[in-house]
Amino acid sequence: MLDAAVLMMPPAKFIAPTDPKWLSMPDALTRDLVSDLLVCRCDPQAGPDGPRGDEGTFSICSRWYVEALVRAHRVDEARPAFERM
């Protein structure tokens, strides 16, 4: 199950934000966890490990998402998400 906490990997120096292995992660998050340019922590429908019930977006996850996009040199994609926050 995808969790927005993976966005902390580049700032924590687990992986470079421009590493080819990382560059598909923002796309996966966009597809699975982004709602109206804001980011949910996880998809509760994806598995039993997440929280039960409905969950909204989280400001900190959205901020991490914007930072991940900027560090991956995808500023044009980051700007609308930043402005939406």
Domains in the chain: boundaries? 4-84
Among 25-29, 53-57, 65-69, 78-82, the minimum mean pLDDT is found in 53-57
pLDDT of residue 64: 93
- 32-57 CB burial, b ≥16 within 10 A, e <16: ebbeebbbbbbebeeeeebeeeeeeb
Give the tens place of pLDDT for each residue, 8-55: 999 999 999 999 999 999 899 999 999 888 898 887 666 555 556 666
What is the average per-residue pLDDT within 48-68? 79
pLDDT of residue 43: 75
Distance CA 85, CA 81 (A): 6
